Amino acid sequence: MVELLLLPASIRSELPFGYWLHLLIFGLGIITLLLTSVIIFIWLERRLVGRFQLRHGPNRAGPFGLLQSVADVIKILTKEDIIPSRADKLVFWMAPVIAFTPVVLMLGVVPVADGALLADLNIGILFVVAISSVTSLGVFMAGWSSYNKYSLLSAMRTVAQLVSYEMPLILSMVGVVILTGSLSLNEMVKAQSIPFILLQPAGFFIFFTASLAEINRTPFDLLEADSELVAGYNIEYSGMKFATFYLTEYCEAIVLSTLTATLFLGGWQGPWLPPMIWLLLKIGLVFCVIVWIRATLPRLRIDQVMNFAWKFLLPLAILNLLLTSLSVIFWPTAPAWASGLINLSMLAVFILVYSKFFKPGGKTVAV
Amino acid sequence: MEIGSGINSMDLDLHEGHVIEDLKNSAASALPEPSRWLDEEIERNIITTTVDKLLNWGRKTSLWTETSFTACCTFEFISTSSSRFDIARFGMEVLRSSPRHADLMITAGTLTWKMAPQIKRVYEQMAEPKWVIAMGACGISGGIFADSYAVVPGYNRILPVDVYIPGCPPRPEALLAGIELLRKKIEKRSIAKGN
Amino acid sequence: MLSEFSLIALFILIVLGFATSLVLIPVALRKLGIVPSQPSAVKSEPYECGLETTGPTWIQFKIRYYFYALLLISLDITVVFLYPWAVELTSLGPAGLITIFIFLGILAVGYLYAWRKGALEWK
């Protein structure tokens, strides 16, 4: 099975039923791997946050509490399904499906080894950009259809935030496209003899921050601020429909960790170990950093979140794009350390200038 | 207070008063123990036993608490959930603000009649299966305010309570012992009896 | 390349089917009596911290949110043009660079106008 996975697509397509075999292996493989890693990563996050707060974390269910997420799944699967009487029933049922589907689809274009991916689209990264914004539609459907004031407010905030951080996210990926000269994710990994995080530190910073906002993680988790919005856009959802939203959130975190690893950390590339193991290790590393940030930073206010996106990240992303294209055109033979240093110093200068002229926050604002 | 059309604060106050009076009249005596059937002998076969075991393990291992705390026993709950006593060991650190996601209501603190309709409503909106722990003297019987006209003499007047934890306030160890009792109780449930 | 796109299309169907089955499993389990179901009038009311809901929920909403949507449409769709340029950057050379600078300059004027007008403030 594993050998079949790592075969180049050209050889696999010559096998009998090669096309359907490919679809079956990768289609089911992606879903299975994603669900397994969600279960493991939820456990990892709860244990890690426990450690950060000088606690033990879940340790009663199974060895080291490994079965904690399994217990959660069993419980939530057999929880009562409540449909609010005033809800828009069809939209209420469709929302979790619409939110969950695009997240899994994004993994279809991510390579786990050289040429080993579901579909090596020549517009890979554009596909990711296009499909990733569908999730916010599902979220808004959930918030609107529940007939609940808090969930509607939360959904509005979510969509405003996702929409705002989409710009810097897309722009920061253009820098990677410039360095690679291709939109295919497989080509991008192959181009990274030096991981792009060293060539594009500012791009990585923008991408990572914007993706934290896209997955609604701390410090951008104000749409789930219990103190003002009860529980976010999924207040009225119970049982498996709520679990689907929970799953979507974690899948998004894992998918964006995967994209970070693929675009900036060299994807499946690495010595000694098999490529797939390298990719999983890098995903785990990025996810641990996300958890670290969650345990460290407090939540931002909505006006701060919006200002950060539109007045800081967006100009920075455009500047990064201009500088990268300039250096590629006029100094194509630049050594890696020089272009990395240029990028880093641009980030530093921008932050210094910005902090000189702008003072964020301070006033009270209405939401 | 213009929220919708045709609603003024006078009407709202009056309505609230009626709701409270109705609740007060209907809560003259304590509600019976909700799961007395646990002590009965249930006819079980091999399928129900296996399914029961799995379901009950899942349910007792991931009890998510509803954050509806009324008064001072809350601080004991907070201390139970932070580092020294660490409720997260039992998978209970997930506090959900929405009753649709929660399994367990810990009634920490004195409940006034003014607040009672809201608490009852939150309980009724929780998704099945759900449990209630009455925490502290006020939660059990109204405590030192038991004779007051303003205080509900025990949560079991308005909600079916599963476990009582005495103390004023109970120590975190007592709360953990109460949770352990509830877990033992959940283990006895069976799908043959409805759920 | 067409077969690659057909793979993605089939994958969309697989994932849609999986997500739908996720939502429908509890319905089947309810028929088996494993998922409890005790509906009541109060339970299916909207949850607003224990209070009854007053007034309509589906109302006209703050205009602030639509500003951001408009800004996104004006900037996001133009940004899509950057991707083909970024792929062909080296072959287009400085001429392409100047063109895209003019393009970004026009964008920047709109962006600065929005900033000056206070469209980016959260008020």
pLDDT (tens digit per residue) in A70-85: 898 898 888 888 888 8
Residue A359, pLDDT > 70, answer no
What pLDDT score was predicted for residue A207?
92
Report the mean per-residue pLDDT for chain A: 84
Q: Is C51 in the same domain as C65? A: no
Tokens standing for residue A10: 């050209």
How many domains does chain B divide into?
Answer: 1
| C119 burial via Cβ count (<10 Å: 0-12, 13-18, 19+) | middle
A124-157 per-position pLDDT tens digit: 888 888 888 888 888 889 888 888 888 888 888 8
Q: Is C74 in the same domain as C119? A: yes
A203-260 per-position pLDDT tens digit: 899 999 999 988 888 788 777 666 667 778 888 888 888 999 889 989 999 999 999 9
What pLDDT score was predicted for residue A159?
85
What's the rounded Cα separation, in Å, for the pair C68 and C61?
Answer: 13
Residue A360, pLDDT > 60, answer no
What pLDDT score was predicted for residue A361?
54
Residue A364, pLDDT > 60, answer no
Q: Which residue is associated with the tokens 């990572």? A: A208
Residue B5, pLDDT > 70, answer no
Q: Is C23 in the same domain as C69? A: no
Is C118 in the A-facing interface, judged by CB distances under 8 Å? no
What's the rounded Cα separation, in Å, for the pair A310 and A222?
Answer: 17
A277-320 per-position pLDDT tens digit: 888 999 999 999 999 998 888 888 777 888 888 888 888 888 88
pLDDT tier, A367 (very low <50, low <70, confident <90, very high otherwise): very low
What pLDDT score was predicted for residue B178?
92
Residue A121, pLDDT > 60, answer yes
All chains having 3 or more CB pairs closer than 8 angstroms to chain A: B, C
Give the alpha-carbon dihedral of B169, B173, B179, B181, to 10 degrees: -110
Contacts of C56 in chain B (CB under 8 A): 4
pLDDT tier, A41 (very low <50, low <70, confident <90, very high otherwise): very high
Q: What is the percentage of chain B residues whose pLDDT exceeds 90?
A: 9
Write the residue in A23, A167, A302 that is nearest to C10 by C-beta: A23
B56 located within any domain: yes
Q: Is C79 in the same domain as C34? A: no
Nearest partner of B125 among C28, C53, A247, judged by Cα: C53
Is B55 in the A-facing interface, judged by CB distances under 8 Å? yes
Q: Is C5 in the same domain as C17? A: yes
pLDDT tier, C111 (very low <50, low <70, confident <90, very high otherwise): confident
* C79/A171 CB distance under 8 A: yes
B15 located within any domain: no
CA angle A297, A134, A19 (to 5 degrees): 115
Q: Is C88 in the same domain as C116? A: yes
Distance from CA of B122 to the nearest CA of C (A): 5
What pLDDT score was predicted for residue B2?
44
Is C83 in the A-facing interface, judged by CB distances under 8 Å? yes
Residue B103, pLDDT > 60, answer yes
Q: Is C65 in the same domain as C106? A: yes
Q: Is C27 in the same domain as C48? A: yes
Please state, as a whole number, how many other Cβ atoms lie within 10 Å of the Cβ of residue A310. Answer: 24
Range of the domain at C6: 1-56
* A325/C18 CB distance under 8 A: no
What pLDDT score was predicted for residue A336?
78
B180 located within any domain: yes
Q: Is C37 in the same domain as C64? A: no
B2 located within any domain: no
Q: What is the percentage of chain A residues whose pLDDT exceeds 70?
A: 91
C54-93 per-position pLDDT tens digit: 778 887 777 777 878 888 887 777 777 888 888 888 888 8
Contact A268, A188 (CB under 8 A): no
Half-sphere exposure of A17 (CA within 13 A, CB side): 5
Report the mean per-residue pLDDT for chain B: 84
Tokens standing for residue A69: 């997420």
Q: Testing the interface with C: which of A10, A24, A148 to mutate, by most C Cβ within 10 A?
A: A148
Q: What is the percentage of chain C residues whose pLDDT exceeds 90?
A: 5
Nearest partner of A235 among A152, A306, A166, judged by Cα: A152
Range of the domain at B165: 52-187
How many domains does chain C divide into?
Answer: 2
Chain C residue with Cα closest to B12: C54
Residue A107, pLDDT > 50, answer yes
Mean pLDDT to the nearest integer, B138-162: 88
What pLDDT score was predicted for residue B1?
39
Distance from CA of B103 to the nearest CA of A (A): 9
Alpha helix (H) residue ranges in chain C: 2-32, 64-79, 82-87, 89-116
Q: What is the CATH number of the domain that holds B101?
A: 3.40.50.12280
Q: Which residue is associated with the tokens 């009596």? A: C33
What pLDDT score was predicted for residue C17?
92
Please say which residue of C39, C56, C73 terminates a domain: C56
Q: Is C47 in the same domain as C67? A: no
Q: Is C36 in the same domain as C88? A: no
User: Which stretches of chain A sit within 8 Å of chain B by CB?
Assistant: 46, 50, 53-61, 65, 67-68, 70-76, 78-82, 226, 230-231, 234-239, 242
* C57/A366 CB distance under 8 A: no
The DSSP symbol for B37 reads G
Q: What b/e string do you get for B8-32 counting C-beta neighbours within 10 Å, with b at 16 or more?
A: eeeeeeeeeeebbeebeeebeeeee
Alpha helix (H) residue ranges in chain A: 2-6, 9-12, 18-52, 68-77, 89-105, 124-132, 134-145, 149-180, 185-191, 196-199, 201-214, 226-229, 239-264, 275-296, 302-307, 314-330, 336-357
Residue C28, pLDDT > 80, answer yes
Residue A356, pLDDT > 70, answer yes
Distance from CA of C3 to the nearest CA of B (A): 43
The DSSP symbol for A206 reads H
Mean pLDDT to the nearest integer, B155-170: 89
pLDDT tier, A13 (very low <50, low <70, confident <90, very high otherwise): low
Mean pLDDT to the nearest integer, B26-48: 74
What's the rounded Cα separation, in Å, for the pair C112 and C120?
Answer: 10
Higher-pLDDT residue of C97 and A11 is C97
B38 located within any domain: no
What pLDDT score was predicted for residue A287?
92
Give the A:B interface size as CB pairs under 8 Å: 95
SS3 label, residue A172:
helix
B125 located within any domain: yes
pLDDT tier, A97 (very low <50, low <70, confident <90, very high otherwise): very high
The DSSP symbol for C28 reads H
Contacts of A83 in chain C (CB under 8 A): 44
Give the B:C interface size as CB pairs under 8 Å: 45
Q: Testing the interface with A: which of C2, C3, C6, C7 to mutate, by most A Cβ within 10 A?
A: C7
* C47/B99 CB distance under 8 A: yes
Q: Is C52 in the same domain as C67? A: no
What pLDDT score was predicted for residue A363?
54
Residue B41, pLDDT > 70, answer no
Residue A3, pLDDT > 60, answer no
What's the rounded Cα separation, in Å, for the pair A200 and A195?
Answer: 9
SS3 label, residue B95:
strand
